[in-house]
Structure 1
Amino acid sequence: MKTLIIGPSWVGDMVMSQSLYITLKEQQPDMELHVMAPRWCLPLLSRMPEVDHAIEMPLGHGDLNLRVRWKLGRMLKQQQYQQAIILPNSLKSALIPLFAGIPTRTGWKGESRYGLLNDLRRNKNAFPLMVERYLALAFPASQMRSSVDLQGIPFPTLRVNSQQQQQALTRLALSLEQPVLGLCPGAEFGPAKRWPEQHYAEIAQRWIAAGGQVWIFGSNKDQSVSSAIQKHLPAELQASCHLLAGKTSLEEAIDLLAACTKVVSNDSGLMHIAAAVKTPLVAVYGSTSPGYTPPLADKVQIVHTDIVCRPCFKRECPLGHLKCLKELPPDQVWQALNNLTDRV
């Protein structure tokens, strides 16, 4: 059995999709599993032992480019896949499996993909969690509801490379002599997911004052907020706050998040990575909901406010006040950190 997965484009969604790959391999251990994903997600696939082969999707968000999709589909036809499972909901994401002539093409109806998918699933709302929707596609349509059990979801588990981890520590002049609190203050989705920098700074100050150190993770886009957090600290504590945003590859971020004692993160791709490397985690939710995309791990504390307008799932606060984040006090996050047991 050879199966092609059209994977999601967001880092966090790609991490959650590993639960599907684990389930497919449990069902058929000899299955050859190929996953197509954007370039920025390929490092994640390299850390998933269930994935036999990763294929780069050369097109970005919103790029239809039928010619490229046709050529890629005809090239993949040589692989003779028996099934394709399409995780994104877009119409265009179903084109390559069609062009590749894959006989069984499975996915949710999404953007009315009649004809593009011939194993079409329609009752998506019966599965409130995104990971449940992914897992449901591992089973025949008639068995989805009886087979997907929230208590039995296999959690994503990304491999950590200890040699590469040590190389990253050396390159960035980092030490593990003091307990490490990882902070992930960015969120690619938008500002309605970002807990204020002043609140992160208060958590960092308390951790450093207690004898620890802080590593701040993120992309190039998160360098300004990372610097702002460091500048909010008293001058004598700033040397214990290390700015890693924009300085690590995704693979290095995986290994370094695994080296942290604990992590505080917004609802973001790095949050899901921290969960998947089993680092005790405090997950901060603003406009989104843990009832849809929770971190999938055992040592997790989830914090959010209970104001009536959340979750709204908007990139920017439609009311302009961001109360769901501004009114979430550092004391609540600090208590959640203290409730977490350290890694074993």
Structure 2
Amino acid sequence: MKILVRTPNWIGDSCISLGFLRSLEESTAGELFLLAARRVAPLFKGFGKIVEFSGRKELFQRSLSLRKTGFDLCFVLPPSLSSAISASLACSGERIGPAGEPGRRFFLTRALKFDPHKKRHLLIEYLDLLRAGGFTPDFRLPALRFEDRETEWARDFLVKKGVDPSKTVAIAPFAAYGSAKEWGIERYLELAGKLLDKGLKVIVMGGSSDRARSAPFEGLRGCLNLVGKLSLRESAALVRHMLLLVGNDSGATHLAACAGTKVIAIFGSTSPRWTGPLGEGHRVIYKALPCSPCFKRECPLGTRECMKSIRVDEVLEAVLEAVGS
């Protein structure tokens, strides 16, 4: 059996989907192919044959070229119309995915309705797709697969930077989805300062688009700003050596969790029931205000009260408790 998986586009969702892929691998001896956006493709290293694309035009071109592979089954994880269209171009066999955007059902052979209120974890809903494909999957935690050389690189990097990982906490202040997900850079700056006062070191992590916004951290002695300076896999290899990571419901937080690092995840506009970190040792800080979760990119009320209601000292206490200080 040849199976194609159209992987999610967001880093966080892609990390969560690693649990789906682990379950799929254990459920079949079939040949696995992944159709993945170039920005997230490195996350899937070690899981089948990866076919990368960038942009909708290349997505459709790659999909059409894959048709000759003769796929028996395709799982379409993103809810977009374009992902369903690409699946129909690539696979003449069964195509299974969430109902998602209007029009998708025409391009899928089976469309499942995911919980519109997002009260079931996304990984559980992904596993429902496997069951619809006739598999009986066991639950598996999302986990990245590292090569020895990546582990060695991370250790060498930390030595060169003079960083003792046993005394270092990572923070990830940004969220690509929108500001509604962000706790606020001023709070992360205050938290970093208090962690440094406690004798801990701080590494700041994030993507290249947030490099300019991370500038205020440059003035903190004992704080290493790596925002925009590492690849996705380098970030994952590095953060797995940290005591823990503090972040929003963002790609960096999910990256740390599936790298095997404890996370303290700050939720406001989204629901931890849907995309909370999976595994032992993680902690979610979430106030569940009446207006939350709204799942919007920007706060509809203009107040971001769901995030502002989370105090710096509350997060600091959670960090110190987690690291045993």
State the alpha-carbon separation in 2 of the partners of residues 70 and 162 from structure 1.
Answer: 35
Q: Is 2:259 aligned against 1:260? A: no
What is the identity percentage for the equivalent residue pairs of Structure 1 and Structure 2? Answer: 30
Structure 1's 286 and 224: CA in aligned 2 closer, same or farther, altered over 3 A? farther
User: Residue 247 of structure 2 contacts residue 265 of structure 2 at CA under 8 Å; is this kept in 1?
Assistant: yes
The aligned residue for residue 89 of structure 1 is 79
Task: Write the letter of the residue equivalent to 1:35.
Answer: L
Structure 2 residue 183 is the aligned partner of structure 1 residue 192: no
Which one of 293, 313, 327 corresponds to residue 295 of structure 2?
Answer: 313
Alpha carbons 2:36, 2:52 under 8 Å: kept: yes
Number of residue pairs aligned between Structure 1 and Structure 2:
320
Match of residue 49 from structure 2 = 53
1:137 to 117, 129, 132: 129
Deviates more, 1:203-212 or 1:164-173: 164-173
Code of the residue aligned with 1:336 in structure 2: it is A
Residue from 302, 309, 312 that aligns with 2:284:
302
Cα distance, 1:276–1:191 mapped onto 2, change above 3 Å: same
- 2:221 maps to a residue whose letter is A
Q: Indicate how the Cα distance of structure 1 residues 319 and 54 shifts in structure 2: closer, same or farther if over 3 A, else same.
A: same
The question of 1:31 aligning with 2:23 is answered: no
Q: Alpha-carbon deviations, 1:126-162, whole Å to 9, x = none? A: 9722111111111137x89xx68xxx63111112345
**Matched residues in 2 for 1:86 and 1:77: separation?**
15
Deviation string, structure 1 residues 161-219 (Cα, Å, up to 9, x no partner): 45334435645742343611100001001111111222212221222222221100001
Match of 2:69 in 1: 79
TM-score (norm 1): 0.85
**119-128 or 324-333, which deviates more:** 119-128
Partner SS for 1:337: helix
Q: CA deviation at 1:327?
A: 2.2
Instruction: Give the alignment's Cα RMSD to 1 decimal.
Output: 2.3
**Larger deviation: 202-211 or 120-129?**
120-129
The reply to whether residue 167 of structure 1 matches residue 176 of structure 2 is no
Partner SS state of residue 292, structure 1: helix
**307-316 or 220-229, larger mean C-alpha shift:** 220-229
Q: Is the 8 A contact 1:3 1:33 kept in 2?
A: yes
Task: Give the corresponding residue for 1:113.
Answer: 104
Structure 2: runs of 5+ lacking an equivalent: none
Q: Which residue of 1 aligns with 2:9?
A: 9
TM-score normalized with structure 2 length: 0.90
Contact 1:161 1:255 in 2 (8 A): no
Q: How far did residue 299 of structure 1 move?
A: 1.2
Structure 1 residue 14: deviation in Å?
Answer: 0.6
